[in-house]
């Protein structure tokens, strides 16, 4: 090839230099907005991967959550198609214990870990050490109670299902450990490794499921074991990245232990009640309806959580960002986040109501058609649940978790009564209507608390040009 015909490769630094043209007198002229946007798009993939700012951390988390949703939908379709409504219901009733107990065993401790690591980064190893000690003590009590209670709650299931449920409960140790690892990484701002930790269990579960299908027919027992393998492998692969970021444990153990325990005791009731409220519908349905109807409800519930694609990533970044800021700055972060989240959730709700029903029947099969009316109700509940979760973050960031604990306790009591009454009368659809009503009550009480307890103004619910300019500036300027 002739030397003059060689292609010229322009690097990122050269691209930056090309943004600023030279004026007639030799000085660098101001770059045009088109050039700035073009350069920003050029660096967008790298910035999303590295997550140098909160906006890009949210974008990375959204991409991760989208991947999680996709993997969950694929595995959900596989299990629903191969196991049918009955088998899918039994599988859901069993693996529920891994997810539920992992959250209960780290209640309050996870939020305390993120908060204290964000405030005291140099003492992160000591704080992590205390967090695992607190979780070990509390988690042992939770696990003991669960192992005794499972046979009394799963009255619709045989002894084999109860045995597998107890095995799944023991696997919650892996789930709780991973939750704490992620909380430490969130406090450090290591969102990339945290996002890997959230995605890994779903990926390993998918690979385990494919391994089972490669050698045998799938039954619910094999699906349960594949799920346990997924969470176990995820913890093992996440530990190296965690240890690299910890270093030597330093800091006053007693001081941090007292502070961590105090925060956990105040935030714990809210986390416990929130988790119980989130799982109450399925825990009650396990004892009231046949496995097939539980299978319908679980498919509708999981498909409706697509609305949470915007919320979970935002929550994982928002608390860490607000905890490091002064109170007035934290409130500004919250207001901006609330408005953008509301807009995204409304768009998601409209799209879900329009495209959700035909997609459900197409993906899962005609035998899952009874899922559609349950899905409509649960999609609306997911929208309100997401807004309530974002609003509760403000109390956590301002070190005022007590009010949220009181709200969650009130709503949990309402949830227990309403779900039991409605599910006894109308089955799975009745349970869906009950949690929609209670979730609306939860959002209302939290917004009232912002005004009365925190004595702060409520966020403006609609977006303006100023909000869009804010988003544009955060994307362009690091």
Give tens-digit pLDDT for 169-222: 999 999 899 888 888 877 877 667 777 777 888 999 999 999 999 888 899 999
Q: d(Cα 107, Cα 142) in Å, to the nearest integer?
A: 11
Q: d(Cα 411, Cα 392) in Å, to the nearest integer?
A: 14
Q: Are 88 and 298 in contact (CB under 8 A)?
A: yes
Cα separation of the two ends of the chain: 41
- Give me the pLDDT at residue 417, please: 93
Q: How many CB atoms lie within 10 A of CB 197?
A: 23
- The answer on pLDDT for 252 being more than 50 is yes
Residues facing 22 on adjacent strands: 28
- Give me the pLDDT at residue 325, please: 65
- The answer on pLDDT for 46 being more than 60 is no
- The answer on pLDDT for 293 being more than 60 is yes
Q: Are 264 and 112 in contact (CB under 8 A)?
A: yes
CA of residue 13 relative to chain centroid, distance: 37
- Dihedral sign from CA coordinates of 151, 155, 157, 158: positive
- Residue-wise burial string across 365-377, b where 16 or more C-beta atoms lie within 10 A, e elsewhere: eeebebbbebbbb
* Dihedral in degrees, nearest 10, Cα atoms 429, 432, 436, 438: 110
Give pTM, 2 decimals: 0.71
Per-residue pLDDT of 87-100, as tens digits, reads 999 999 999 999 99
- Residue-wise burial string across 236-272, b where 16 or more C-beta atoms lie within 10 A, e elsewhere: eebeebbeeeeeeeebeeeebbebbbebbebbbbbbb
- Dihedral sign from CA coordinates of 98, 99, 104, 105: positive
Q: Are 114 and 183 in contact (CB under 8 A)?
A: yes
Q: Which residue has the higher pLDDT, 171 or 60?
A: 171
Q: d(Cα 393, Cα 439) in Å, to the nearest integer?
A: 16
Q: d(Cα 97, Cα 172) in Å, to the nearest integer?
A: 7
With both helix axes pointing from N to C terminus, report the angle between 33-50 and 54-105 in degrees, rounded to the nearest 10: 30
Q: Which two tokens stand for residue 408?
A: 């969650």
Q: d(Cα 256, Cα 123) in Å, to the nearest integer?
A: 9
Q: Residue 379: CA atoms inside 13 Å, Cβ hemisphere, count?
A: 24
- Give me the pLDDT at residue 6, please: 40
Per-residue pLDDT of 389-446, as tens digits, reads 888 888 877 878 788 888 888 988 998 999 999 999 999 999 999 999 999 999 999 9
| CA nearest to 13, candidates 51, 42, 56, 49 | 42
Q: d(Cα 242, Cα 223) in Å, to the nearest integer?
A: 29
Q: Are 112 and 131 in contact (CB under 8 A)?
A: yes
Q: How confident is the model at residue 20 (pLDDT cuts 50, 70, 90)?
A: very low
Helices (H), 216-252: 220-246
Per-residue pLDDT of 159-177, as tens digits, reads 999 999 999 999 999 989 9
Q: What is the chain's mean pLDDT, rounded?
A: 81
Q: d(Cα 385, Cα 100) in Å, to the nearest integer?
A: 17
Mean of the pLDDT values across residues 109-118? 87
| DSSP H/E element including 166 | helix 159-170
- Give me the pLDDT at residue 32, please: 55
233-247, 369-383, 419-433: which range is least confident on average? 233-247
Q: Are 381 and 301 in contact (CB under 8 A)?
A: no
Q: DSSP secondary-structure letter at 121?
A: G
> Residue 141: is it exposed, middle or buried by C-beta count within 10 angstroms (0-12/13-18/19+)?
exposed
* Dihedral pair phi/psi, residue 319, rounded to 5°: -65, -45
Q: d(Cα 340, Cα 336) in Å, to the nearest integer?
A: 6
Q: Are 316 and 196 in contact (CB under 8 A)?
A: no
- Give me the pLDDT at residue 461, please: 83
Q: Which two tokens stand for residue 440?
A: 């609306």
Residues in the chain: 478
CA of residue 169 relative to chain centroid, distance: 20
DSSP 376-429: HHHHHHHHHHHHHHHHHHHHHHTT-HHHHHHHHHHHHHHHHHHHHHHHHHHHHH
Residues facing 28 on adjacent strands: 22
DSSP 3-63: GGGSPPPP-HHHHHHHHS-B-TTSSBPPPPHHHHHHHHHHHHHHHHHH--SHHHHHHHHHH
Q: Which two tokens stand for residue 61?
A: 């988390």
Q: How confident is the model at residue 333 (pLDDT cuts 50, 70, 90)?
A: confident
Q: Are 93 and 154 in contact (CB under 8 A)?
A: yes
- The answer on pLDDT for 122 being more than 90 is no
Q: d(Cα 174, Cα 170) in Å, to the nearest integer?
A: 8
């Amino acid at each position: 090839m002739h030397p003059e015909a060689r292609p010229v490769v322009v690097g990122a630094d050269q691209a930056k230099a090309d943004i600023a043209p030279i004026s007639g007198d030799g000085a660098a002229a101001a770059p045009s907005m088109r050039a700035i946007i073009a350069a920003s798009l050029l660096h967008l993939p790298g910035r999303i991967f590295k997550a140098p700012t909160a906006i890009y951390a949210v974008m990375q988390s959204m991409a991760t959550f989208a991947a999680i949703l996709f993997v969950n939908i694929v595995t959900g379709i596989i299990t629903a198609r191969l196991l049918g409504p009955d088998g899918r219901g039994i599988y859901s009733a069993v693996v529920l214990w891994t997810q539920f107990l992992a959250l209960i065993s780290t209640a309050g401790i996870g939020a305390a870990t993120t908060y204290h690591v964000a405030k005291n980064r140099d003492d992160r190893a000591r704080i992590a050490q205390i967090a695992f000690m607190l979780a070990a003590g509390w988690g042992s009590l939770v696990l003991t109670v669960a192992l005794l209670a499972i046979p009394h709650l799963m009255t619709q299931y045989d002894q084999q299902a109860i045995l597998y449920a107890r095995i799944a409960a023991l696997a919650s140790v892996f789930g709780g450990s991973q939750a704490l690892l992620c909380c430490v990484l969130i406090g450090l701002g290591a969102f990339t490794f945290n996002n890997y930790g959230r995605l890994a269990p779903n990926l390993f579960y998918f690979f385990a499921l494919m391994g089972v299908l490669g050698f045998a027919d799938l039954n619910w027992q094999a699906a349960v074991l594949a799920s346990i393998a997924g969470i176990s492998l995820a913890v093992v692969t996440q530990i190296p990245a965690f240890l690299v970021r910890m270093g030597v444990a330093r800091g006053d153990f007693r001081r941090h232990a007292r502070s961590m325990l105090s925060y956990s005791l105040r935030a714990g009731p809210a986390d416990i009640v929130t988790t119980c409220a989130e799982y109450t519908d399925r825990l009650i349905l396990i004892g009231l309806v046949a496995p097939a109807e539980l299978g319908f409800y679980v498919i509708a519930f999981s498909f409706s959580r697509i609305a949470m694609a915007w919320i979970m990533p935002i929550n994982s970044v928002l608390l860490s960002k607000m905890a490091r800021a002064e109170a007035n700055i934290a409130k500004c972060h919250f207001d901006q986040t609330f408005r953008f989240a509301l807009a995204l959730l409304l768009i998601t709700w409209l799209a879900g109501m329009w495209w959700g029903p035909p997609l459900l029947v197409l993906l899962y099969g005609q035998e899952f058609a009874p899922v559609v009316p349950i899905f409509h109700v649960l999609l609306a509940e997911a929208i309100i649940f997401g807004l309530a979760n974002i609003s509760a973050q403000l109390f956590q960031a301002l070190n005022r978790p007590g009010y949220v604990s009181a709200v969650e306790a009130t709503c949990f009591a309402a949830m227990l009564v309403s779900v039991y009454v409605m599910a006894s009368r109308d089955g799975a659809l009745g349970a869906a209507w009950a949690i929609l009503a209670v979730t609306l009550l939860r959002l209302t009480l939290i917004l009232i608390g912002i005004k009365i307890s925190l004595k702060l103004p409520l966020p403006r619910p609609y977006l303006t040009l100023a909000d869009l300019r804010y988003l544009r500036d955060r994307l362009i300027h690091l």
